[in-house]
């Protein structure tokens, strides 16, 4: 066993960033995720790995620093919570439009507006369906444990460089604020200039090499014909993500007659609900999407021969349930159960909702 | 001997007194006749060539008329969202401290929507050069009022003349940023005469030299014209600039540490 | 073995750090653990509570409605959590400041004069370790040597000199539990 510690989800994000060879973090304080930047400031990675950590003047500036750093072929990231992510939406769509890799962490809190600082999952649409303008997608990873907070930092960078597309870790105050046992990854050195040249030389704006074309990091093309071709390319990339990089987990699904679909902290709660429901003789399983985009549509469809009804459980008024319904396409009843505004549902409540909304039918 | 052959014979290496720098590309510029951007681009390109830093320079272009600046200078470029160029440049310079990073921004981009980014980049003393082209108007969107528009100046959104009572006074950005300890070199230049262009080139060179010496932020404002937005001929524009802009935005160096 | 615990009291009583030491002790004996605090404005001077789970298996929900054990350190928490203990579960409380004592008869109830003992030890900061000792008497789910290891791991080096005092406080707690209701 490697370096095992008891850590908060937010602290782990910072630690994982340092250890995975991240080059730069640019952030702005907002509850409930300020520990990420605070931990980085305490750790002084500048001295250890050379990683740059900067508190920006605003979320807007922070995401644009990420755009600048990503343009150089560097591994850069930012983190925020819901209202801050709304501010970053502009920079995020520019990153997608310029095909730049970057990692954005959203420790979601309840909204709309300033909302609450308590956990919620009401930014699903924003993360998965857009948020900024234009036809773009983020790679969205939804950790359900502190260990996954650790693992998905590296994975997020890996996928974002694989597809040259920004990736988001969509978590919430439950996972961000709780402590669990975590096995930290070994240190990976930051990429050298030579490695960056090899990996990103064809697009990184780190100085025009003699004898080669200059690189331009831009999302602008005033020629509509070219812009359409570019959009086709983006769409093909998103289809490739759907083909190759769907991640999910099944829990007690083998004999399941009913199914919970839930991600992140709700999936943890539903795991308990599965235990409680099975004590009552209800054969229910859990399908946990790990990637929210690309979404495990096929995996839900594969369950349809077996399950009689699906309950989508989210800390929102019903967002992911739309993707479940699209997958199910009317073949079995799909209902939503959610608490929101910062209220976390209890495992017991979820079982009651299953009984009332699905079994009761 | 025809006239053309005669001219072609004159154009030979030994007779050359001026040559376009190779850092400036041959792409036809989209700027309007009389616009100052073309001259400023040329001056920056010449400085890059003379300092032999073409392979180490990264430009950050704004949103505004110079959004396509990357089409004209043969260096690596980042194209920023409106007003955010100093944020991009901040990260770029910090992540690659041996490079030369400059932003190229107009007055709408820098003084209005990007006010926070420029003030904080200046305050942190980022090791970058900021080239700030002030022509007192939004050019690209069709001549609207900018924070730098003069009192009484007619624009598309101040059709009866700017009323400073309700829209605030024209902002003197160079004076503002010169007060911040992070700035090392703050100067206001112009480009309407050969002499002015020579002084501008010296200032831009000084900016890049400051970057080389890791001195921090160099802020170079250039008071320029916008014939289309001002609805004047190029010659009239220069006259109008001298009569109206220079008294309010006096040329000269405000800070050199 | 899975033990689902709520520790609740005032901010400043060391509720969160007690939970953290308990969780760390679990890690030291290769268990899965989770520590989920209430966070936000509540933290600032008001009530504080933390859900701690130790288990031999993967932990499902870190957020719970029903608990195996509640450790209650003020009246508000008594009012809030007494009803959330599973039948047959355990309630451990410090009677200091408690005006309405627990009323349930389907759970085990113990009390420990933590505040009084801390005052006796001349160090109010030992309070939460005394309470932890009380809990370990009632539910010896972690070994004292693992608590010691947990303290070593969770405390910064400069505070390691305080470990013997903490262990002494835990021992005091172990020795000072009074049974109110035993099923």
What mean pLDDT is reported for chain A?
97
Could you say which of B54, B87, B99 has the minimum Cβ distance to residue A64? B87
Q: CATH number of the domain at A40, please.
A: 3.40.50.970
Peptide bond into A32 cis (omega under 30): yes
Min CA distance, B143 vs chain A (Å)?
Answer: 20
CA distances from A304 to A290, A294, A307, A351 (A): 20, 20, 5, 21
Strand stretches in B99-215, DSSP E? 100-106, 129-134, 183-190
Separation of alpha carbons C130 and C134, rounded Å? 6
Domain boundaries, given as residue ranges, for chain C: 2-181
pLDDT above 60: residue C40: no
Query: Domain count of chain B?
Result: 1
pLDDT above 60: residue C44: no
B205 touches chain A (CB under 8 A): no
Q: Do chains B and A touch (3 or more CB pairs under 8 A)?
A: yes
Contacts with A58 from chain B: Cβ below 8 Å? 116
Task: Specify the pLDDT at position B17.
Answer: 85
- The side-by-side arrangement of strands in the sheet containing C47-55 is A3-8, A179-184, C32-37, C47-55, C2-10, C67-72, C85-93, C108-111, C178-181
**What is the domain extent for residue B226?**
33-256
B230 inside domain: yes
Tokens 């000084």 identify what position?
B206
* A167 and A25 fall within a common domain: yes
A26 touches chain B (CB under 8 A): yes
Nearest CA in chain A to C153: A5
ipTM of the complex: 0.94
Percentage of residues of chain A with pLDDT beyond 90: 97
Query: Domain count of chain A?
Result: 2
Tokens 């262009």 identify what position?
B197
Instruction: Grade residue A130 by pLDDT with cuts at 50, 70 and 90.
Output: confident
User: In this structure, is the dihedral angle defined by the CA atoms of residues B174, B179, B181 and B185, taken in order, positive or negative?
Assistant: positive
Question: Any idea which of A321-335, C36-50, C87-101 has the lowest mean pLDDT?
Answer: C36-50
The two structure tokens encoding residue C46: 């008001």
Instruction: Grade residue C154 by pLDDT with cuts at 50, 70 and 90.
Output: confident
A68 touches chain B (CB under 8 A): yes
- Chains in touch with A (3+ beta-carbon pairs under 8 Å) read B, C
Size of interface A-B (CB pairs under 8 A): 122
SS3 C72: strand
Task: Specify the pLDDT at position A206.
Answer: 97
Selected residue of A208, A220, A221 to mutate for chain B interface (largest B Cβ count, 10 A): A208
Q: CATH number of the domain at B181, please.
A: 3.40.50.970
Separation of alpha carbons A213 and C149, rounded Å? 59
The helix or strand, by DSSP H or E, that contains position A151, with its residue range, turns out to be: helix A146-163
* A38 and A128 fall within a common domain: yes
Could you say which of A32, A181, A268 has the minimum Cβ distance to residue C61? A268
A97 touches chain B (CB under 8 A): no
**What is the domain extent for residue A58?**
3-184
Task: Specify the pLDDT at position C41.
Answer: 52
* A147 and A18 fall within a common domain: yes
SS3 B153: coil
Nearest CA in chain C to A345: C63
The helix or strand, by DSSP H or E, that contains position C171, with its residue range, turns out to be: helix C163-175
Say if residues C8 and C60 touch (Cβ distance below 8 Å): no
The two structure tokens encoding residue C163: 């470990």
* A141 and A39 fall within a common domain: yes
Query: CB distance B84–A209 less than 8 Å?
Result: no
Instruction: Grade residue A361 by pLDDT with cuts at 50, 70 and 90.
Output: low
Residue A239 CB: number of other CB atoms within 10 A?
A: 11
CA distances from B231 to A164, B35, B160, B241, B243 (A): 44, 12, 15, 13, 16
Phi-psi region of A98 (alpha: psi -120 to 50; beta: other; left: phi over 0): alpha
* A179 and A85 fall within a common domain: yes
CA distances from B179 to B175, B184, B186 (A): 7, 10, 10
Task: Specify the pLDDT at position C45.
Answer: 56
Mean predicted confidence (pLDDT) in A279-297: 98
Contacts with A45 from chain B: Cβ below 8 Å? none
> Do you know the residue count of chain C?
183
Tokens 């369906």 identify what position?
A129
- The side-by-side arrangement of strands in the sheet containing A103-108 is A52-55, A24-27, A76-80, A103-108, A167-172, A139-141, A291-293
The two structure tokens encoding residue C183: 């099923």
pLDDT tens for chain B, 257 residues: list them: 577 777 777 777 888 888 899 999 999 999 999 999 999 999 999 999 999 999 999 999 999 999 999 999 999 999 999 999 999 999 999 999 999 999 999 999 999 999 999 999 999 999 999 999 999 999 999 999 999 999 999 999 999 999 999 999 999 999 999 999 999 999 999 999 999 999 999 999 999 999 999 999 999 999 999 999 999 999 999 999 999 999 999 999 999 99
* A259 and A121 fall within a common domain: no
Min CA distance, C74 vs chain A (Å)?
Answer: 23
Instruction: Grade residue A91 by pLDDT with cuts at 50, 70 and 90.
Output: very high
B37 inside domain: yes
Nearest CA in chain A to B117: A61
Separation of alpha carbons A69 and A333, rounded Å? 47
Query: CB distance B75–A217 less than 8 Å?
Result: no
A161 touches chain B (CB under 8 A): no
pLDDT in tens, C112-128: 999 999 999 999 999 99
A33 inside domain: yes
Peptide bond into A294 cis (omega under 30): yes
Selected residue of B23, B76, B99 to mutate for chain A interface (largest A Cβ count, 10 A): B76
Query: CB distance A54–B54 less than 8 Å?
Result: no
Q: What is the pTM of this model?
A: 0.94
A230 inside domain: no
SS3 A208: coil
pLDDT in tens, C52-75: 999 999 999 999 999 999 999 999
Q: Which positions in chain C have a beta carbon within 8 angstroms of at least one beta carbon in chain A?
A: 20, 23-24, 27, 32-37, 39-41, 59-66, 153-154
Rounded to a whole number of angstroms, the CA Rg of chain B reads 18
Give the architecture-level CATH label for domain C2-181.
3-Layer(aba) Sandwich (3.40)
Contacts with A205 from chain B: Cβ below 8 Å? 58, 76-78, 92
Contacts with A271 from chain C: Cβ below 8 Å? 60-61
Min CA distance, A85 vs chain B (Å)?
Answer: 16
Domain boundary among A135, A155, A184: A184
pLDDT in tens, A179-216: 999 999 999 999 999 999 999 999 999 999 988 999 99
A322 inside domain: yes
A241 inside domain: no
Could you say which of B87, B91, B99 has the minimum Cβ distance to residue A207? B99
CA distances from A237 to A92, A125, A127, A270 (A): 17, 20, 17, 33
Q: CATH number of the domain at A322, please.
A: 3.40.50.920
Task: Specify the pLDDT at position B137.
Answer: 96
Mean predicted confidence (pLDDT) in A293-298: 98
Task: Specify the pLDDT at position C43.
Answer: 47
SS3 A357: helix
Angle, in degrees to the nearest 10, between helices B115-124 and B85-95: 30
Mean predicted confidence (pLDDT) in A33-49: 96
B214 touches chain A (CB under 8 A): no
């Amino acid at each position: 066993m490697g370096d095992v510690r008891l850590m908060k989800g937010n602290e782990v994000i910072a630690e994982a960033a340092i250890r995975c060879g991240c080059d730069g973090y640019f952030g702005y304080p907002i509850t409930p995720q300020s520990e990420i930047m605070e931990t980085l400031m305490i750790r002084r990675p500048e001295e250890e790995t050379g990683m740059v950590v900067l508190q920006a003047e605003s979320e807007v500036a922070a995401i644009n620093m990420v755009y600048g750093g990503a343009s150089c072929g560097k591994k850069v990231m930012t983190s925020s919570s819901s209202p801050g992510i709304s501010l970053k939406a502009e920079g995020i769509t520019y990153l997608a439009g310029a095909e730049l890799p970057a990692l954005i962490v959203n420790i979601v809190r309840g909204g709309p507006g300033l909302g609450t600082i308590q956990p919620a999952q009401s930014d699903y649409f924003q993360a998965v369906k857009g948020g900024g303008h234009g036809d773009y997608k983020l790679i969205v990873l939804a950790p359900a444990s502190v260990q996954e907070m650790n693992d998905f930092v590296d994975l997020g960078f890996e996928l974002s460089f694989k597809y040259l597309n920004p990736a988001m870790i969509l978590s919430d105050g439950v996972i961000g604020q709780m402590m669990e046992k975590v096995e930290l990854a070994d240190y990976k050195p930051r990429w050298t200039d030579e490695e960056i040249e090899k990996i990103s030389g064809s697009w990184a704006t780190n100085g025009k090499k003699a004898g080669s074309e200059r690189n331009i990091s831009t999302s602008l093309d005033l020629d509509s014909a070219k812009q359409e071709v570019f959009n086709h390319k983006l769409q093909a990339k998103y289809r490739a993500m759907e083909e190759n990089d769907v991640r999910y987990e099944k829990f007690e699904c083998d004999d399941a007659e009913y199914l919970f679909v839930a991600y992140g902290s709700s999936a943890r709660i539903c795991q308990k609900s599965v235990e409680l429901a099975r004590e009552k003789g209800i054969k229910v399983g859990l399908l946990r999407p790990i990637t929210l985009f690309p979404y495990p549509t096929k995996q839900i469809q594969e369950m349809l021969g077996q399950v009689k009804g699906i309950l989508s459980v989210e800390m929102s008024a019903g967002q992911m349930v739309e993707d479940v319904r699209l997958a199910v396409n009317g073949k079995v009843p799909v209902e939503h159960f959610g608490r929101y505004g910062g209220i976390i549902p209890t495992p017991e409540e979820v079982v009651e909702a299953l009984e009332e909304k699905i079994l009761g039918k | 001997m025809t006239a053309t052959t005669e001219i072609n014979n004159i154009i030979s290496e030994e007779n050359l007194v001026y040559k376009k720098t190779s850092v400036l590309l041959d792409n036809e510029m989209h700027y309007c006749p009389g616009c100052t951007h073309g001259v400023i681009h040329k001056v920056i390109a010449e400085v890059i060539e003379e300092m032999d830093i073409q392979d180490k320079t990264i430009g950050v272009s704004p949103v505004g008329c110079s959004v396509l600046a990357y089409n004209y200078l043969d260096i690596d470029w980042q194209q920023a969202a409106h007003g955010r160029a100093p944020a991009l440049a901040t990260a770029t310079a910090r992540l690659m401290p041996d490079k030369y990073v400059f932003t190229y921004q107009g007055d709408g981009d820098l003084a209005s929507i990007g006010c926070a980014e420029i003030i904080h980049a200046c305050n942190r003393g980022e090791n970058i050069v900021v080239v700030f082209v002030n022509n007192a108007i939004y050019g690209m969107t069709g001549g609207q009022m900018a924070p730098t528009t003069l009192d009484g100046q007619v624009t598309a959104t101040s059709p009866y003349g700017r009323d400073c009572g309700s829209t605030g006074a024209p902002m003197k950005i160079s004076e503002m940023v010169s007060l911040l300890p992070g700035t090392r070199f703050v100067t206001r230049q112009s480009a309407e005469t050969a002499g002015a262009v020579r002084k501008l080139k010296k200032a831009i060179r000084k900016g890049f030299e400051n970057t080389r010496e890791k001195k921090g932020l160099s802020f170079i404002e250039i008071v320029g014209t916008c014939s289309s937005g001002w609805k004047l001929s190029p010659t009239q524009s220069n006259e109008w600039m001298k009569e109206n802009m220079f008294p309010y935005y006096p040329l000269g160096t405000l800070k050199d540490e | 073995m899975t033990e689902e615990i709520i520790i609740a009291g005032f901010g400043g009583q060391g509720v969160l750090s007690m939970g953290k030491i308990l969780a760390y002790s679990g890690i030291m004996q290769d268990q899965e653990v989770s520590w989920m605090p209430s966070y936000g404005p509540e933290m600032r001077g008001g009530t504080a509570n933390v859900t701690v789970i130790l288990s031999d298996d993967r932990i499902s929900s870190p957020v719970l409605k029903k608990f195996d054990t509640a450790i209650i350190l003020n009246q508000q928490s008594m009012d809030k959590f007494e009803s959330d203990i599973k039948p047959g579960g355990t309630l451990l409380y410090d009677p200091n400041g408690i005006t309405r004592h627990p009323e349930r008869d389907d759970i085990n109830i113990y009390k420990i004069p933590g505040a009084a003992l801390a005052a006796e030890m001349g160090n109010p900061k030992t309070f939460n370790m005394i309470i932890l000792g009380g809990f370990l008497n009632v539910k010896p789910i972690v070994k004292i040597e693992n608590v010691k290891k947990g303290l070593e791991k969770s405390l910064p080096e400069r505070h390691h000199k305080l470990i013997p005092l903490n262990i002494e406080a835990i021992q005091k707690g172990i020795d000072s539990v009074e049974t109110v209701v035993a099923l």
